[in-house]
A and B are shown apart, each in its own frame.
Chain A
Amino acid sequence: MKLGRVIGSMVASIKPEGMRGLKLLIVRPLTAELAVEGDPFIATDASAQAGDGDLVTYEASREAALLHEPWFVPIDHAIVGIVDQHAYDDGGRGRER
């Protein structure tokens, strides 16, 4: 899993049969320290309750497809959960680089 921030949502009326009923969200990937890292992508929501601004965990590739019921839907990123608490302590080593 990785950390990400939901920055928007989208609706598509024409999509593959396996994606019917799945909520689509735009997610920006984050580093372990919650800094922005890379380009946003579209993910389905396996937690069912994520929304704009939420800090979330997500899975990619095969594991994303396994998150939904029925399983193995044709997707490549899916949100696993909404993060309530993110504790981070690298002993100050993260800034040494």
Chain B
Amino acid sequence: MILGRVCGTVVSTVQHPFYRGRKQLIVRACTPDGAFDGDRYVVAVDLVGAGVGETVIVEDEGNSARQLLDAKDGPVRSVVVGIVDEVTDSSPSAGAEKP
């Protein structure tokens, strides 16, 4: 799973039938301190009703995504599975100034 922040939405009319009626969010990967992790992002199916600006957990693996959506052969890989309330990073480097 990856930590990310919802930065936008994608709306498609013409798309694979599996994605009909499923909200798609643009989620950029974040480090525990909340900074973006480079340009890493995914367009993920929303399962929890997350909105723009929220920190979320994204499952970024096909088999788990299919299990979560109860779709054995679903062509899906990324699913937003949780909204993060708080992140505590107690590793020694946490809070240290970045080079």
Across the interface, do B53 and A83 meet the contact criterion of CB distance under 8 Å? no
Q: Give the interface size bracket for A toward B.
A: 35 or more
Across the interface, do B15 and A32 meet the contact criterion of CB distance under 8 Å? no
A64 to B75, CA, bound (A): 7
- CB of B30 to closest CB in A, whole Å: 10
A72 to B11, CA, bound (A): 26
Chain B 9-25: CB-based contact to A (< 8 A → 1; otherwise 0):
11111111011000010
Supposing A47-B16, A81-B14, A81-B15 touch, asked if A91 and B53 sit within 8 A by C-beta, the answer is yes
Which residues from A are CB-within-8-Å of B43? Answer: 1-3, 57
Supposing A32-B39, A80-B19, A90-B28 touch, asked if A66 and B75 sit within 8 A by C-beta, the answer is yes
A91 to B41, CA, bound (A): 16
Supposing A57-B43, A89-B7 touch, asked if A1 and B73 sit within 8 A by C-beta, the answer is no
A2 to B10, CA, bound (A): 11
Say if the beta carbon of A67 comes within 8 Å of chain B: yes
**Interface residues in B26-51 (C-beta closer than 8 Å to A):** 26, 28, 35-36, 38-39, 41-44
A89 to B11, CA, bound (A): 15
Chain A interface mostly: mixed
Which residues from B are CB-within-8-Å of A93? Answer: 35-36
A88 to B7, CA, bound (A): 6
What are 26 A-B pairs at a CB distance below 8 A? Answer: A1-B42, A1-B44, A1-B77, A31-B39, A32-B41, A47-B12, A47-B14, A47-B15, A47-B16, A57-B15, A61-B62, A63-B76, A66-B73, A66-B74, A67-B16, A81-B15, A83-B10, A83-B11, A83-B12, A85-B11, A86-B26, A87-B8, A87-B11, A89-B8, A94-B7, A96-B36
Residues of A within 8 A of B (CB): 1-3, 31-32, 35, 37, 46-50, 57, 59, 61-64, 66-67, 71, 78, 80-91, 93-94, 96-97
